[in-house]
Structure 1
Amino acid sequence: MTRRKLTEDEIDLWQKVVKQTERLSPGSHSTPPYPPKPKPKPVKHPEPRLDPFEVGSRARPKPVKHDLKPSIARSLAGDPVKMDEKSFRRMKRGKIRPEGKLDLHGMRIDGAHPALTRFILSAQASGKRLVLVVTGKGKHRDEPGPIPVPRGVLRHKVPQWLALPPLAQAVLQVTPAHISHGGEGAYYVYLRRSR
């Protein structure tokens, strides 16, 4: 069983009683023994207030599921630069003049792919470094429907063809052309040196 500590009122009462009483043996103690005062209670400092926790408060937002595929210009801009950085900036600003040009306006896919392959491989064989491939921006479709249709079939297909063999070994960089050379309807194709 633990001993109960005295309160301050009880200690004061005890001291009054001790002062009024007479000692039985007056010389044994010079001062009356007082019971010890209780220890002061520790002062509780208020704890720092934390923000309330919510599940998922730091989670990244989920991507929107109905987003369409990024545009060709955006996906080509995300590609790493494989050529000289200074030449790339000059090319993007239209400061470098293309050494050859292929115009695919009005062509169908079955005729455009072989024409592009012939043009790129012959340009590389002749030592050209920068060529321009004009695809056009494409026509707006009259038939709106539930499935989005990309505008300009050749504009979407040419970068894909340039990334596949046999053209992939010849092409170093593909980027949309400057407005002075056709803008969104044309591509700069920077070729590797022929070995």
Structure 2
Amino acid sequence: MSDDRRPYTRRLTHAEAELWTVVTASVRPFRARPAPVEEPAAPAHQPAEPLRVKSPAPVPHLDRPPPPKPPTPLVEIDHRTRVKIKRGRLDVSAKLDLHGLRQDEAQRALNAFLRRAQADGAKVAIVVTGKGLSREEGGILRRVVPMWLQAPNLRDVVVGFGEAARHHGGEGALYVQIRRADRRRG
């Protein structure tokens, strides 16, 4: 086969050419550049409008301090640590039961408990929240205690947390891994 052959082309019939003209008449370029708009010249007897100078926009990084870095997320207690706790090879040094407390009381008790446990050198603590009355929603403390544990005021105390094993309370309790007092975040 030789490469000097031209591809087959045919001419459009009159009807096809008319149809093509109608179709292409409504087509616009995908990225059409706007035509330059010519402004009419101002009449000679009216004074030109004074130029308006825009004030420079404030530079955000020079006007205010940089936003604080987002805190590193707490880690779920790893499987190995959970197994050590379950088998009794890692002692649960402290336990707090929040049953019967109101939210504000429970939050104060949790903060004080965790700081005291850290000062005593505890590595892992159990916080009992209870399962709540409704199985679907769970109790209010069960929902809010994880948020409290992630709060900035406890970042220097809490390393991570996770659901406790069944014999420690299961869904109604949390293991809280406590940061060593000499390794506080600054």
TM-score (norm 2): 0.53
1:127 — aligned with what?
121
Counterpart of 1:192 (choices 179, 182, 185) is: 179
Q: Which entry has the higher C-alpha Rg, 1 or 2?
A: 1
Question: CA contact under 8 A between 2:163 and 2:174: conserved in structure 1?
Answer: yes
Mapping 1:1-195, distance limit 5 Å: 81=75, 86-91=80-85, 96-140=90-134, 150-195=137-182
Give the direction of change, closer, same or farther, for the CA distance of 1:94–1:152 in structure 2 (3 Å limit). Answer: farther
Question: CA contact under 8 A between 2:85 and 2:92: conserved in structure 1?
Answer: no
Q: For residue 90 of structure 1, give the secondary structure of its aligned residue in structure 2.
A: helix
Q: For residue 152 of structure 2, give the secondary structure of its aligned residue in structure 1.
A: coil
Separation of aligned partners in 2, 1:100 and 1:88: 16
Cα displacement (A) at 1:164: 0.4
Separation of aligned partners in 1, 2:161 and 2:98: 16
* RMSD between superposed Cα atoms in Å: 2.5
* Structure 2 stretches lacking a partner, 5+ long: 1-72
Matched-pair identity in %: 45
Q: How many residues align?
A: 110
Question: CA contact under 8 A between 2:76 and 2:161: conserved in structure 1?
Answer: no
Question: CA contact under 8 A between 1:135 and 1:154: conserved in structure 2?
Answer: yes
Separation of aligned partners in 2, 1:153 and 1:93: 30
Give the direction of change, closer, same or farther, for the CA distance of 1:97–1:137 in structure 2 (3 Å limit). Answer: same
Letter in 1 for 2:150: A
Cα displacement (A) at 1:83: 6.6
Letter in 1 for 2:171: E
Separation of aligned partners in 1, 2:145 and 2:171: 13
Question: CA contact under 8 A between 2:74 and 2:159: conserved in structure 1?
Answer: no
Give the direction of change, closer, same or farther, for the CA distance of 1:83–1:179 in structure 2 (3 Å limit). Answer: closer
Cα displacement (A) at 1:173: 1.4
